Amino acid sequence: MAAALTALAAAASVQAAGSGARWEYQGKAGTAHWGELAPDFSACRQGKAQSPVDIRADRASSTGTPAPIGFGYRASAADIVNNGHTVQVDLADGGGIDVAGSNYRLVQFHFHTPSEEAVNGKRYPLVAHLAHKNDAGDLAVVAVLFKRGRDNAALAPVFASLPATAGEKRAAAAEFDADSLLPAQRAYYGYMGSLTTPPCSEGVRWHILKQPVEVSAGQLAAFRKLYRMNARPVQPLNGRVIVVNR
């Protein structure tokens, strides 16, 4: 997941890099070099609580089991944006979540292929990161994993209007309710991590929903025509504990 806290607050984008330095997923500006591209990207190299991670389910702690996420999404006007690193859906008033005693407003969601987070070493073909911000400016992300299967009806109106070029924005034809993206079961793995794109700022609450939903081969191919691979490698846990809400 991804982008400067100030950029998220000001521009509702978790993909925007605050310094303006160009970054990519491969090559000389790729993931291995992010920490060298700009001074404010230093956390990408030096941070000790970076995301994504490989979630080893058999090692997840159930001690002090975290409370369920309180989902309160609602239908909202939406813009579909190709920001040069992913396709992102900006929501005008999409509701939010209650977690850890705080309300976080849903700002946007975007996609990575393959999934950035792994579960027991397995990466799924696609993930949606739902990015939220509370009144204090803290960030929380809900990750929805996608496995290959049938057409995903919730994705249909988004993937039918994928902007083909970087910087292109299209208004969604109808309001979008992010609740339609979620699986029936809302149990999750939780940990403290970072943005998954520069500047890799830490202090982000992560919630990876355990139950995947389906995406068809055609839908996956449509996204991969634009972004064949836009996932950061998994990062060391460095002693962090992953908790599980069952």
CB atoms closer than 10 angstroms to residue 181: 21
Residues 6+ apart with CB under 8 A from 164: 82, 226
* Closest residue by Cα to residue 51 from 136, 109, 110, 129: 129
Q: Percent of the chain, pLDDT > 70?
A: 91
Work out the angle at residue 21's Cα, subtended by the Cα atoms of residues 202 and 144, and round it to the nearest 5 degrees: 45
Of residues 85, 110, 129, 132, which has the active-site annotation?
A: 85
Residue 107 is inside which H or E element, if any?
A: strand 102-112
- The CA–CA distances, whole Å, from 2 to 79, 128, 198, 199 equal 18, 12, 7, 8
pTM of this structure: 0.92
Nearest-angstrom CA–CA distance, 219 and 167: 21
Strand duo 95-99 + 122-123: pairing? unpaired
Distance (Å, rounded) from C-alpha 43 to C-alpha 35?
7
- By CB atoms closer than 10 A (0-12, 13-18, 19+), residue 206 is buried
> Which residue from 110, 96, 103, 102 is spatially nearest to 155, judged by alpha carbons?
110
Q: How far apart are CA 141 and CA 106, in angstroms?
A: 9
Q: How confident is the model at residue 206 (pLDDT cuts 50, 70, 90)?
A: very high
pLDDT in tens, 81-134: 999 999 999 999 999 999 989 999 999 999 999 999 999 999 999 999 999 999
Would you state the pLDDT for residue 59? 78
Architecture of domain 5-245: Roll (3.10)
**pLDDT, average across residues 224-237:** 97
Q: How far is CA 150 from CA 87, 157, 160, 174, in A?
A: 21, 15, 16, 22
**Can 85 be counted among the known catalytic residues?**
yes
Rounded to an integer, the average pLDDT of 168-181 is 96
Tens digit of each residue's pLDDT (9 = 90 or more) over 39-90: 999 999 999 999 999 999 887 876 667 899 999 999 999 999 999 999 999 9
